[in-house]
Structure 1
Amino acid sequence: MGSSPEGVTKWIKANWRSLFESELEGWYTDPTLWPKLTLKRFDEWFDVECHSVMIDTLGTPIEDDEASD
């Protein structure tokens, strides 16, 4: 997707719920206490900045493709 503004916007639209849940879990671990999760609310609550950070949104093992055997 790249780090262009369009690429970041596309990635956020595909992953906003996981990001929102991750942030809320830092405040309250009980999801019944969370507000209704919507993209509109995500946009109201968060300012998105593009940084070189890895977030596992798939929940599968992370493999280092550059690691030597």
Structure 2
Amino acid sequence: MPRYEFRCRSCEDTFVVSRPMAQSSEPAQCPAGHEDTVKLLSAVAVGGTKAAPPAGGGGGCCGGGGCC
């Protein structure tokens, strides 16, 4: 289930709510009971394998082609 981060404008607490995507835009009450909250934009980090270095003969300003 997706997790959404909210911030309370009254007490400035930041908290997380797990809910279905269909309910992502619904308001959330902070743990202290305040109603004035705003959903924060979260950056998502996706892990994986590192990209391979570019192929080529390497070196120089144009890949070692001798154009300099």
TM-score (norm 1): 0.23
Name the one with the larger helix percent.
1
Higher strand fraction (1 or 2): 2
**TM-score of the superposition, structure 2-length normalised?**
0.23
Q: Which has the larger radius of gyration?
A: 2
